[in-house]
Chains A and B, each alone.
Chain A
Amino acid sequence: MISRGFLLWLGLVIGMILASVQISMKVEALDSSLNKLLDEQEIERDRIRVLRASYAYLTAPDQLRPLVERHLDLHPIRGDQMLMLAGLPERAIELDAPMSGPGILPGLAQPLPPVSAVPPSVAAPAVTLPPAAAEETGPTVISPPASGPPSAVTEQAPFAPIPRLPSVPPVNPPWLEAQHPPVLQPVSYPKDQRPAP
């Protein structure tokens, strides 16, 4: 005769088996999903690596130079085109109208004289060279040796175009070839190479 205890245990076993099968199936599904996500993550990570390398390659100076020469009329910045912020002239403030009101201090009730513009000057760090050798002066000027190279300053023409190296058409690296799936889309073409719509 089958006791109630045995039936209880049997029910528990069957229930646990069914539950374990169900959980196992869920785990397998989750595992498959996780694998898929990890694969996609790896692929995306690789694509990002390719994009970063390609960006670094395409923005290299020797790649940009021919494009700049073809499309832009830019020249390197010269020293006299640079001015430090401290060297900018201060703006003249118009304070002709007398100020009044509850928030104005008594000393500021009278108009202040306008601030005159300060001539531009470049703030150069002060390094004092010893004047020992410069104390004595003499009229003699020794001319430079005849074979010496020409002075750069006297020959420098203002805003003379800086000679450029001959440009070489850029060649794409192997990782910029057609990707599967494509990871790089052309942004723009030169006019003569633009494909027909």
Chain B
Amino acid sequence: MSEAPIAPPILPHGFDSHTVAAGGIHVPPRRPRGPASWRLALVGTAFAAAFVMVGGALVLNAAPQTVSPAIAGGMTESGSREFSPRASIVDRNGEILAYSLPFSSLYANPQEVRDPEAVAAELVQALPELKATEVAATLANKGREFAYVARHLTPSQHSAVLNLGIPGLYFRKEYRRIYPRGRLASNTLGVVSEDHRSGLSGVEAFFDSDLANSPDLPLALSIDVRVQNVVREELQKAIDRFSGIGGIGLMMDVRTGEVLASVSLPDFNPNDFSTITSETQTNKVVGGRYELGSMFKLVTAAAALDYHVATERTMFDATKPLVAYGHRISDFRGEHRWLNMPEVLIHSSNIGAARMGALIGAPRMAQFFDRLGLLQKASIELEESAAPIAPHHWQEINAMTTAFGHGFSVTPIQFASAIGAVANGGVLRRPTLLRVAGDADTAGARVLSEDTSARVRRMMRAVVVQGSGKAANSPYYKVGGKTGTALKAISGGYSTDKRLSSFIGVFPIESPRYVVLVSVDEPKGRKDTLGFATGGWVSAPAVREIVERVAPMLGVPQSEPEKPKQPSLIHTVAVRVPQ
């Protein structure tokens, strides 16, 4: 069905279709657009564009801007944000070890300085450490627009220069690395360049990018300031007492591999660059390689037990010096009899250890050293970590000499880590300078059996109770360990009077938690030590002092007293010694 066409409405008089569309109001019909309408539209568009521009300017103006903070009391602010602070370094308890502080540095625009000599004379009065001639020469160099006059001014120096009111001089805010504990852990922490841009050594260098890029995130080390201080004090006392030329002190947690104290003496003051020399800057704990002497007999005994080539009852002929491959191996104070394995350690017999090494054999000796990480450099967070000096081709003579710690140089951190594995049940843990969260043992690689570890611990205790390490025995804590007195290698052989006297201890030996290593470089004998300067005389007392001072701090409970009727190892073996 088709729709009917709609008829146009009937409008009253005076109304047309435009009037109806406007709701009854009369609107004249739209005229066609002329030039005036186009001009009006153009003007409107221009105004709209102007409004947009004004609005944009308002938005930009209201947006937050980067504002350079003024230097407090400074003459002129200049480049104050050019340098930013590095992250602080703290110890395991949050104590500050390294920190960035703001300082003012004075610089000049020589082109704005009118009378360089007069200005220099005024500056020297305010800053007496400056030399007038050098300052005048700096200010007279008109070809430059920037020249440092003095850096890292104290607030009083800053104020003194500010009061001069000399035109052409400016201050800029710079950060400087300061070490509030001074020398305490200087070799571990390292130093930062004077312009505060990069770490040059130690932890500062290894974690350079982290410290520079995350200034609000402190770097927590495993170092304990209290323990570090005790180790450093006791090491310094031992060095002073025996007139040594240096020393090494190290304490590690055998359950986590954390380094609680690392001391290398002589050290330097990181706040005073003039104290830095090649000698003081060397971190001997990770960078020094030493033939550590008889302490290595612990490793030899562990290898012999773990490879089942010998037991505690195996006897070794130490009646006379051993001559092998053109080398003569003798004991410092020989027993001149057959010794079993504990006795070899108790009396520190080089002959017995060499025979033990020969029994183990060179390939297995090298393999065991490799398992303990003694053939690779320690993977600790320091670039100074040095690789050991090991024989290129392991032959029987190498097994015999390394068995008592000669002919093989390792770093103290490597050796302490290895002894930690020998004592802690046989798990080698990577030494670390970073704090380990929690109290749980960290993962490690099993390198020897628990049974071997327990048997070596027993012999370590025997060394302290009955052997050369008696001075390390504490009435409160059971310490186990081993002495070591190594003649220093010189060109063409070994020195006869220069030695490295050491002691490595583990405490509490019934449940090993910490390993302590003390070495004194070139100690001299004293009258009250009968002229001796061996590890038992020099370093063992220092280890005892360290243990007794730090154990209460670390919450180590006092050891139960030993049973008086407990049979000793020496009794066990004595009945088997052929007389």
A residues with a Cβ closer than 8 A to B are 5, 9, 13, 16-17, 20, 23-24, 27, 31, 34-35, 38-39, 41-43, 46, 49-50, 52-54, 56-57, 59-62, 76-84, 87, 121-130, 132-142, 144-145, 147-153, 156, 162, 165, 173-175, 177-180
Contact = CB atoms under 8 A, between A and B. Distances in A.
A149 B95 CA distance: 38
B69 interface: yes
Interface size on B, as a range, is 35 or more
A127 B180 contact: no
B458 interface: yes
B552 A152 contact: no
Which 3 pairs of residues, A with B, have the shortest CB-CB distance? A79-B476, A56-B180, A125-B511
Contacts of B101: 46, 49-50, 53, 175
Contacts of A156: 475
B571 interface: yes
Given A34-B67, A177-B155, A133 B99 contact: no
A51 B302 CA distance: 52
B301 to A, nearest CB: 12
B552 to A, nearest CB: 4
Contacts of B47: 9, 13
B154 A175 contact: yes
Given A56-B95, A134-B567, A31 B552 contact: no
A151 B476 contact: no
Nearest to B65: A31
5 contacts: A35-B69, A39-B70, A53-B180, A122-B560, A149-B537
B125 to A, nearest CB: 18
Interface in B433-489: 451, 454-455, 457-458, 466-468, 470-477
Given A23-B58, A46-B101, A180-B155, 20 more contacts: A9-B43, A46-B102, A60-B181, A60-B225, A62-B184, A78-B476, A79-B558, A80-B475, A129-B458, A132-B312, A134-B569, A136-B571, A136-B575, A149-B470, A149-B532, A152-B474, A153-B473, A165-B233, A174-B154, A175-B154
A42 B84 CA distance: 12
B180 A57 contact: yes
A149 B471 contact: yes
Interface of B: 40, 43-44, 47, 50-51, 54, 57-58, 61-62, 64-65, 67, 69-70, 72-73, 85, 95-96, 99-103, 154-156, 158-159, 178, 180-182, 184, 225-226, 229, 233, 236-237, 271, 312-313, 333, 342, 347, 451, 454-455, 457-458, 466-468, 470-477, 508, 510-511, 529-530, 532, 534, 536-537, 540-541, 544-545, 548-549, 551-553, 557-560, 566-575
B159 to A, nearest CB: 5
Nearest to A32: B67
Q: Which of A39, A43, A79, A139 has the most CB of B within 10 A?
A: A79
A82 B558 contact: yes
B99 A49 contact: yes
Given A151-B473, A152-B544, A165-B233, A177 B154 contact: yes
Given A49-B101, A61-B226, A144 B470 contact: yes
B552 A149 contact: no
Contact of B72 (A121, A149, A162, A180): A180
Contacts of B73: 180
Q: Which of B534, B557, B570 has the most CB of A within 10 A?
A: B557
A78 to B, nearest CB: 7
Contacts of B229: 61-62
Contacts of A24: 58, 61
A178 B529 contact: no
Given A38-B69, A125-B510, A137 B552 contact: no
A189 to B, nearest CB: 20
B574 A178 contact: no
Contacts of A124: 508, 510-511, 557, 559-560
Nearest to A23: B58
A177 B540 contact: no
A110 to B, nearest CB: 38
Contact of A52 (B99, B184, B551, B557): B99
Contact of B540 (A35, A140, A149): A149
A105 B497 CA distance: 81
A175 B548 CA distance: 36
A47 to B, nearest CB: 9
